[in-house]
Amino acid sequence: MRIGQGFDVHAFGEGEFLTLGGIQVPHNKGFVAHSDGDVLIHAICDALLGALALGDIGVHFPPSDDQWKDCDSSVFLKHCHQLIQAKGYEIGNIDCTLMAEAPKIKPHSQAIRKKLAQVLDIHLNQISLKATTTEQLGFTGRKEGMAASVVCLLKPQV
């Protein structure tokens, strides 16, 4: 088995929703990003890549490449998933934590998990999503952005 971890941050800017796990979550701000800014999917991608020492999302999808501008991050996730499958592994489980003062994630967490499970073709109980504030401390506490931390376990395909 192999373990991987991923971390990502995106700043808030103008906008009316945040794309999280491929779902649009209504908010009074959006993400400032080259892609759709899906901080959760980016951290999951880095966890999958990290588990097999395949580099990071910036190596596979360079922000300098206009091909990825405003790209749906589900495309990144599917690509990373295909890479680990090609190496003979499958997902055991993925555990995610979002850090932000706002918006509240709980009302959207089931929809986000369902979407991620669908994109990755895994069961709902293989993808966990938690959320926390940082007690009004730091950039997340000042509502300047959101952070995501993810751990995944990969197992050899049977």
The encoded tokens of residue 54 equal 């395949």
Instruction: Pick between residue 54 and residue 90 the one whose CB is nearest to Mg ion.
Output: 54
Amino acid letter, residue 30: G
Under 8 Å CB-to-CB from 105, ≥6 apart: which residues? 20, 25, 98, 112, 129, 131
By beta-carbon proximity to Mg ion, the closer residue of 92 and 139 is 139
Q: Is 101 in the site for Mg ion (CB under 5 A)?
A: no
CB atoms closer than 10 angstroms to residue 106: 10
Residue number, 8 or 101, with CB nearest to Mg ion: 8
Q: Which stretch binds Mg ion (CB under 5 A): 5-13, 70-78, 79-87, 118-126?
A: 5-13
The residue at minimum Cβ distance from Mg ion is 42
Contacts to Mg ion from residues 30-89, by CB under 5 A? 42
Question: Under a CB-based contact definition with an 8 Å cutoff, are residues 55 and 24 in contact?
Answer: no
How many beta carbons lie within 10 A of that of residue 32, not counting itself?
13
Contact 36, 8 (CB under 8 A): no
Closest CB 39 distance from Mg ion, rounded Å: 6
- Least distance in Å: CB of 157 to Mg ion? 28
Residue 149 binds Mg ion, judged by CB under 5 A: no
Instruction: Name the residues that contact Mg ion, by CB under 5 A.
Output: 8, 42
